[in-house]
Amino acid sequence: MGKKALDFLIANSGNRVNLEVDFFGGEPLMNWNVVKQLVEYGRSQEKAHNKKFRFTLTTNGVLLNDEIMEFCNKEMSNVVLSLDGRKEVNDKMRPFRNGTGSYDLIVPKFQKFAESRGDKDYFVRGTFTRNNLDFSNDVLHFADLGFKKLSVEPVVAPPEAPYSIREEDLPQIMEEYDRLAKEFVKREKEGRGFKFFHFMLDLSQGPCVAKRLSGCGSGTEYLAVTPWGDFYPCHQFVGNEKFLMGNVDEGIVRPDIVDEFKCCNVYAKEKCRNCFARFYCSGGCAANGYHAHKDIRSNYEIGCELQRKRVECAIMIKAALAED
């Protein structure tokens, strides 16, 4: 299935040279030999088709070992290391079957992996939920562990989920972003700075026009492929038959879904029209809109508030660092 997926990508990429493939889960390391075989297959196809694959791996680190790190440092342009925060936060969200948590096992591996990456990208990525609204402590904990490239994202979940973010949580979340931005500036000035994904905004130029309009490109430039070969607009829609677009054998059999996602942009969303941040989030996450209102062209209002706050923080950081 994996080789067919790469063949589909090559055949449908037109004159685009650079192609991106993310190994995501589930947990890719549970099928590590397949990951290696697909990377090798992709590399074998590059010259013949004038393509260049950029591979990324997302892992929870449980099965990580030296051999895997070495391969990833050679072949993966980026690795995303899933850690949900401080020990108590991570272990609540990521327990083993016996009830124990993964923190003590994975953190030393992640530290070694991050150190070995050299000039190649990595991100330690967490998710904050209602269970850890004080997430700035998790970001700073990552930094204190020695990690330099960090991301902590709000959970994407149906509103009825007990851990989903709610409107009454917004004041605390806004305070957390303010606190994090101030500490970000402080540490940068002290020479012990770090990168935080949501503050990495190019305020002078930013993304190209196409990206400003369409965002991540889910369902049009980007697809999720399941282990059994089905196509979905992104991993957040996997399993929802309404968004089953096709498969590796038949290709795209629901072009109407592609057309629907093509129309999912800032100009199709009424609430985006007067928002100052609209060209930084490109209308927000389609999956969030669907979870909130069963419509990919709707706005997830909580997400909108968070995005505006992050842009404000990025502006503050730029101004504060320019003072020196």
pLDDT, one tens digit per residue, over 282-301 is 778 888 888 888 888 888 88
Q: What percent of the chain has pLDDT over 70?
A: 96
Strand ranges inside 257-319, DSSP E: none
Residue 244 structure tokens: 């089953």
pTM metric for this prediction: 0.90
Sign of the C-alpha dihedral computed for residues 26, 27, 31 and 32 taken in this order: positive
For residue 139, the surrounding DSSP H or E stretch is: helix 136-144
Q: Are 127 and 153 in contact (CB under 8 A)?
A: yes
211 pLDDT tier (thresholds 50, 70, 90): low
pLDDT, one tens digit per residue, over 300-318 is 889 899 999 999 999 999 9
For residue 293, the surrounding DSSP H or E stretch is: helix 286-293
Q: Are strands 149-154 and 121-128 parallel, antiparallel or unpaired?
A: parallel
The pLDDT value given to residue 324: 65
Higher pLDDT, 209 or 69: 69
pLDDT, one tens digit per residue, over 256-280 is 999 989 888 788 788 888 888 888 8
Residue 108 structure tokens: 């030393």
Q: Are 62 and 29 in contact (CB under 8 A)?
A: yes
Report d(CA 272, CA 265) in Å as an integer.
9
The pLDDT value given to residue 56: 97
Residue 232 structure tokens: 């979905």
Average confidence (pLDDT) over 201-230: 76
Q: Which fold has domain 2-205?
A: TIM Barrel (3.20.20)
Sign of the C-alpha dihedral computed for residues 24, 26, 32 and 35 taken in this order: negative
pLDDT exceeds cutoff 90 at 223: yes
pLDDT exceeds cutoff 60 at 234: yes
Residue 144 structure tokens: 């204190």
Q: Give helix 66-75 / helix 32-49 axis angle, nearest 10°.
A: 20
The pLDDT value given to residue 210: 57
The CA-atom distances, in angstroms, between 140 and each of 41, 106, 191 are 40, 18, 15
Q: Are 233 and 223 in contact (CB under 8 A)?
A: yes
Report d(CA 175, CA 81) in Å as an integer.
26
Q: Are strands 195-196 and 224-225 parallel, antiparallel or unpaired?
A: unpaired
Report d(CA 239, CA 209) in Å as an integer.
32
pLDDT, one tens digit per residue, over 79-90 is 999 999 999 999
Q: Which residue in 74, 82, 84 sits closest to 110, CA to CA?
A: 82
The pLDDT value given to residue 205: 64
Report d(CA 228, CA 205) in Å as an integer.
41
Residue type, 295: D
Cis peptide, bond prior to residue 26, ω within 30 of zero: yes
Report d(CA 290, CA 193) in Å as an integer.
37
Domain boundaries, the chain: 2-205, 265-324
Residue 49 structure tokens: 């088709």
